[in-house]
Every structure is written in C-alpha cells, then in structure tokens.
Amino acid sequence: MTATEQLELVSANKVHGGWLKRYRHRSGSLDCDMVFAIYLPPQAEQGPVPMLWWLSGLTCTDENFMQKAGAQRMAAELGIALICPDTSPRGVDLPGEDESYDFGSGAGFYVNATREPWARHYRMYDYVTEELPALVKRHFPVDGERESISGHSMGGHGALICALKNPGRYRSVSAFAPIVNPSACPWGEKAFSGYLGDDRAQWAQWDSCELVKRSRESGASRQELFIDQGENDQFLDNELMPERLEAVCAEHGHPLILRRHPGYDHSYFFMASFIEEHLAYHAKHLL
C-alpha cells in the first residue's frame, strides 16, 4: 500500500444502524493531507452498496453535511453510502489562502487550477472525480458501477459540472441552490480569475450554463438535472441566478427539474427540509 492509499481513522459514530466515519489520507493530486467523511448504511455489512457523493459549499468541510442535513436515516433505509470530501486543500501555506471566505481555503470551486501558485494544490476536480473515488472503491464495500452526485451552492456547481463533463458516469445528479453560471457572478469571477487566469474562454469548461450550451458539440452529458432553490435565498439574485440555467436548458432541450420553494433561504435548514426527496430521487436511479 502506498502512502497516498493509507487511511487514518479520525472518528467513528454509529447512526441509524450504520457507521459515519472520517478518515485522513495523503492526496497525491492535491499534494497535502485531506479528510473525508463516509456514511456506510447497515446493508454495507452484507455487500457492496451504491454511492451518493455530496459536494459542500463555501466555508464548509466534510462535517457540515453529515452533521446538519439529516441524511443518514433515509440513506440507511435505502442502503446508500454517502461520501463527503472537503471543499479545498488545507494548510498548504499559499499566500492569501486564508484571507477571504470565497477564495482559497474552503473555496476550491471543484476546478483544476492552472494559475500559479494554486496549480500545485488546487486540483479539486481531479480529487473528487478520480483520486478519492478510486480510494473509496478500494477500501470500502461500495458498488463502483452505481454512483450519483449532489451538492449545495459551490458544491451544487461542482456536482453539475462533474455530471455534465462525464456522460454516463453518474446515475443521477441533483443540487441545492447551485452556482449555475460562475463565469458571470462575483463568486465565480473571483475564483476563476484566481485559479484559472483571465482567459474567459478557459472558464467555460467549468460553467454549467456554458456546458449545456455546448453539449451537442462537446459531447457533454444530457442527463436530467434536478435542482431545488429557496426563494428567500440571500444569494439568489447576485450569485445563483437559476433562471439563467433554466433559459439555457429550455433553449437547448436539456432536461431540467427546477423547483422553487417560497420562504426558504441558503442554509442547511433548507437542505434538511428536502434532502430525503433528493435521496429518493437518486435511489430511483441507483437501485
């Protein structure tokens, strides 16, 4: 076993008959130590179970979703493993990595950085689509042929681009309040210019709206996108703008379910209210 394959158990808690565990490992793609969380339902004791990847939003770690969303009860009932990576490299001592909440630590944006000094460590796309899945499949009783993906805010953006860029990889994809057009919102413009440079043509490969526009010519996935959005979300008008993705999907015939929920904001209270419906949606495709 190589150094990048060794897992150090950080914590373990039994919940709804299964086990929520956190592990630390050395990431080769990020060149630093990383922590991820995995919930294995009771069914994993009898054999491999399907996987649902969860990508979290700005400022989050692997713990936010596992502690606040209340997903384990339904995951245990359905027999689905939940895997939650961190949202960025940690402690790599890059200048400015801890100066703001929306760039650097806790804000990897699930892209592969090409601009120095970020390119050495900030390769979150490779980490969540290649390195961590391979690690999980080697060490845990999961079915490598059955995986879906979901996420919130920045993580919703991550889930959408991972699915759109990898046709056939994920059985289903969903998102809560995703950043759908990062090339044209303050959060995305700051992150993309920092990680990718000023060539906006390079940004398009990490933008859900642009991927849908170019799906026929680029071969991007055309699977259904399932999105929930709170109408009282404080970031709705300036950062999220789901109507942009809605318009692009309508224009290009891309299947989209976009549900708007009056009164709900951007918090985990919103996710906790509808996470079981998302799990049921993914179960239809995974099971």
Domain with 258 in it: 7-286
Q: Is residue 267 part of a domain?
A: yes
Q: Is residue 137 part of a domain?
A: yes
Average pLDDT, the chain: 96
Which of 62, 207, 228, 233 is an active site residue? Answer: 233
Which of 25, 121, 157, 266 is an active site residue? Answer: 266
Q: Indicate which CATH number applies to the domain containing 103.
A: 3.40.50.1820
The answer to whether residue 139 is catalytic is no
Q: Is residue 2 part of a domain?
A: no
Q: Give the dihedral sign, CA 258/264/265/267.
A: negative
pLDDT in tens, 3-21: 456 999 999 999 999 999 9
**pLDDT given at position 218:** 62
- In this predicted structure, the answer to whether residue 63 has a pLDDT above a threshold of 70 is yes
**pLDDT given at position 2:** 46
Domain count, the chain: 1
The answer to whether residue 33 is catalytic is no
Which of 153, 172, 208, 215 is an active site residue? Answer: 153
Q: Is residue 247 part of a domain?
A: yes
Q: Is residue 250 part of a domain?
A: yes
Q: Is residue 1 part of a domain?
A: no
Look up the pTM and report it: 0.96
pLDDT in tens, 201-260: 999 999 999 999 987 666 667 899 999 999 999 999 999 999 999 999 999 999 999 999
**pLDDT given at position 222:** 83
Q: Is residue 38 part of a domain?
A: yes
- In this predicted structure, the answer to whether residue 192 has a pLDDT above a threshold of 50 is yes
Backbone dihedral region of 254: left (phi > 0), alpha (psi from -120 to 50 degrees) or beta?
beta
Q: Give the dihedral sign, CA 64/66/67/69.
A: positive
Phi, psi dihedrals of residue 140, rounded to the nearest 5°: -130, 155
Please compute the mean of the pLDDT values over residues 262-283 and round it to a whole number. 98
- In this predicted structure, the answer to whether residue 91 has a pLDDT above a threshold of 60 is yes
Q: Are 131 and 125 in contact (CB under 8 A)?
A: no
- In this predicted structure, the answer to whether residue 1 has a pLDDT above a threshold of 80 is no
- Give me 168's structure tokens: 């056939």
Q: Is residue 208 part of a domain?
A: yes
The answer to whether residue 153 is catalytic is yes
Bridge partners of 12, per DSSP, are 21
